[in-house]
Amino acid sequence: MRHARIHGVGGYRPERVVTNEEILQFIDSSDEWIRQRSGIATRRWAREDETVIDMAEAASRQAMERAGVSPDQIGVVIMATVSHPFQTPAAAPQLAHRMGIPSPAAFDISAACAGYCHAVSLANDMVRVGTADYVLVVGVEKLSDFTDKHDRGSAFIFGDGAGAAVIGVSDFPGIGPTLWGSLGDQAEVITQRESWIDLRPTMEDADRTEAVQWPAFVMQGQTVFRWAVFSMAPVALDTVKAAGITPDDLDAFVPHQANMRITDAMIKALKLPEHVPVARDIAETGNTSAASIPLAMSRMLDEGEAPHGGLALQIGFGAGLVYAAQVVVMP
């Protein structure tokens, strides 16, 4: 059995900065309320003609360059996303083609905000058993396409972006055990408003006079908050224990950027020492779902906030409800 680690990470944030003031043109709220409830001051939105594949390509090129890995070394491409607008074909094969990766296994996974951590676990297993020497893992979202700008409960939350990691063979274990799970009975807590099948009769009605309501993503904010605070904090602590370390041994904490108050609750539950830096990118990027963890880790390393080669706890949680967490050695 071989070992695996993250060899390089990269991130991409769209150019357009969307302030709370712009969001407030469509909902009855205030900048103060948004900041207090979520910690969000701004978020990034992609251009109208910018796709998840475009953003994934930018992040992937950076990750591969930093990892020192060429396209012909990549054996698998895994893309975690819930906002690729086509049910088929998947985005990953198209990304692989753009990157010049010759005939890799390439597929998308749908695990919402936990998708990146799910993909890291899959890549780790693939490398360790010899399925591939290097796996390109991407978390990417264009959630602005699926946001109802008039929905007071979610219009201010979501952003766009991409993060990528190259996971490959290592002479030491660089990815700890993954703790993951799901609560399918809570599917309605974060969901697409309507299924495409439910919309079909209305869209095919030649006599319709009213516009069809877009099936945006909606969420029950308070329910999600309580679940994340009371259920995910113990998962984070158990993940640290499974890695054979204590919170004192961590060099960074990179939680999914869902809500600043959720992050604060996890820090308290972990009894995280003050010297451990914590990702708080949500203030400027909003909730980018599957992209949030690699985006944050890439920034923390670039800015010297987290040390290269240090230990980081990463945890993702969201629609499903699903979650996944692991301790990793940062590249």
Residue 63 near residue 165 (C-beta atoms within 8 A)? yes
Report the C-alpha gap between 328 and 331 in whole angstroms: 9
Catalytic choice (117, 124, 256, 259): 256
**Is 3 part of the annotated catalytic residue set?**
no
CA dihedral 101, 104, 107, 112 (to 10 degrees): -60
Residues whose CB is less than 8 angstroms from the CB of residue 22 and which lie 6 or more positions away in sequence, other chains included: none
- Residue whose C-alpha is closest to residue 331's, from 134, 112, 183, 56: 134
**Is 113 part of the annotated catalytic residue set?**
yes
Catalytic choice (84, 113, 117, 259): 113
**Is 124 part of the annotated catalytic residue set?**
no
- Residue whose C-alpha is closest to residue 81's, from 123, 111, 103: 111
Enter the tokens of residue 210: 């009213």
Please report the beta strands in the chain, taking only residues with DSSP state E, as ranges in sequence order: 3-12, 16-19, 42-45, 74-80, 105-109, 134-142, 160-170, 179-182, 190-192, 217-219, 252-255, 311-318, 322-329
Burial of 213 (0-12, 13-18, 19+ CB in 10 A): exposed
Catalytic choice (20, 124, 259, 287): 287
Enter the tokens of residue 278: 């914590």
- Residue whose C-alpha is closest to residue 81's, from 48, 106, 98, 103: 106
Active-site residue list: 113, 256, 287
